[in-house]
């Protein structure tokens, strides 16, 4: 007779969380604390052995009570970006000599634009002629808003190839705008028509945001 024995096997070191996620907006204090706890009576010793992205993050390792360490990971990047990296920690436990942590960083711009690419539904040449007669043109909305703050000003919008025209509507003062974009049907050619919106924005400092626009004529 075979007797099954079930039980929970404790890991020698408990790490929480296992993935470092550094997410926030430009100018924010972005960081995360990782807790590392030795599950045995044997005193745990932890040291930092590898930081694969020292230009992106700072590390600070502190020993706490009860066989516990805290690893403080802080974002160093001040502008919009995304990055991946690894942190390796060395321990004195022979059966767990290394702890590997994955780092995921995403710093968003204070200025958000949605969508980042404006794509219209395809139009046939016949539909274009019909819409020209009815003076009804397809349109799409583009939203520009601040993730934080209330000093958003759209100074102007430039359409690079003049294939589209834009009307600007301020929804929330200093915070949120809606741009109504519609194609200049008379200028569209058969095939894929591509243009670019240049949005000139003023917040704490001037910025230019480029948004591609596409519409296909069949």
Query: Would 5 be classed as within a structural domain?
Result: no
Q: Which residue has the tokens 């767990």?
A: 96
Q: Which of 42, 73, 108 is the last residue of a domain?
A: 108
Query: Would 191 be classed as within a structural domain?
Result: yes
Q: Does 17 share its domain with 83? A: yes
pLDDT attached to residue 173 = 93
User: Distance of CA 171 to CAs 30, 110, 144, 158, 182, Å?
Assistant: 30, 18, 10, 20, 19
Q: Does 137 share its domain with 206? A: yes
Query: Would 3 be classed as within a structural domain?
Result: no
pLDDT attached to residue 206 = 83
Q: Does 20 share its domain with 88? A: yes
Instruction: Report d(CA 168, CA 142) in Å as an integer.
Output: 10
Range in 119-123, 126-130, 153-157, 194-198 the model is least confident about: 126-130
73, 34 Cβ separation under 8 angstroms: yes
57-63: strand order across its sheet: 13-16, 31-38, 68-75, 57-63
Query: Would 140 be classed as within a structural domain?
Result: yes
Q: Which residue has the tokens 């274009």?
A: 128
Query: Would 7 be classed as within a structural domain?
Result: no
185: closest CA among 217, 141, 140?
217
pLDDT band for 186, please (50, 70, 90 cuts). Answer: confident
pLDDT attached to residue 205 = 76
Length reported for the chain: 218
Query: Would 1 be classed as within a structural domain?
Result: no
Q: Does 55 share its domain with 125? A: no
Instruction: Report d(CA 132, CA 186) in Å as an integer.
Output: 8
- Give how many domains the chain has, as a whole number: 2
Range of the domain at 96: 13-108
Q: Does 99 share its domain with 115? A: no
Q: Which of 44, 73, 108 is the last residue of a domain?
A: 108
Q: Does 127 share its domain with 188? A: yes
Q: Does 61 share its domain with 40? A: yes
Q: Does 144 share its domain with 48? A: no
Q: Does 59 share its domain with 81? A: yes
pLDDT at 3 over 60: no
Q: Which of 82, 108, 134 is the last residue of a domain?
A: 108
The model's pTM is 0.72
Q: Does 148 share its domain with 70? A: no
CATH of the domain at 36: 2.60.40.10
Query: Would 2 be classed as within a structural domain?
Result: no
pLDDT attached to residue 133 = 59
Query: Would 84 be classed as within a structural domain?
Result: yes
Q: Does 189 share its domain with 128? A: yes
pLDDT band for 218, please (50, 70, 90 cuts). Answer: confident
Q: Does 122 share its domain with 24? A: no
pLDDT band for 136, please (50, 70, 90 cuts). Answer: low
User: Distance of CA 34 to CAs 55, 69, 154, Å?
Assistant: 20, 8, 41
């Amino acid at each position: 007779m075979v007797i099954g024995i079930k039980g929970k096997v404790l890991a020698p070191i408990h790490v929480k969380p296992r993935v470092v996620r550094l997410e926030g907006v430009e100018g924010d204090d972005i960081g995360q604390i990782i807790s590392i706890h030795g599950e045995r009576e044997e005193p745990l010793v932890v040291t930092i052995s590898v930081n694969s992205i020292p230009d992106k993050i700072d590390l600070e390792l502190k020993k706490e009570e009860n066989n516990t360490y805290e690893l403080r990971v802080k974002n160093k990047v001040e502008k919009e970006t995304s990055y991946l990296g690894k942190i390796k920690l060395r321990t004195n436990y022979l059966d767990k000599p290394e702890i590997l942590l994955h780092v995921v960083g995403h710093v968003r711009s204070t200025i958000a634009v949605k969508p980042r690419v404006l794509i219209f539904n395809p139009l046939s040449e016949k539909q274009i002629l019909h819409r020209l007669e009815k003076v009804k043109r397809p349109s799409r909305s583009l939203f520009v808003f601040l993730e934080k703050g209330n000093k958003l000003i759209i100074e102007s919008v430039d359409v690079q190839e003049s294939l589209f025209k834009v009307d600007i509507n301020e929804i929330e003062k200093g915070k949120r705008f809606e741009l109504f974009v519609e194609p200049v049907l008379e200028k569209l050619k058969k095939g894929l028509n591509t243009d670019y919106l240049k949005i000139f924005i003023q917040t704490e400092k001037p910025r230019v945001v480029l948004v591609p626009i596409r519409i296909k004529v069949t």
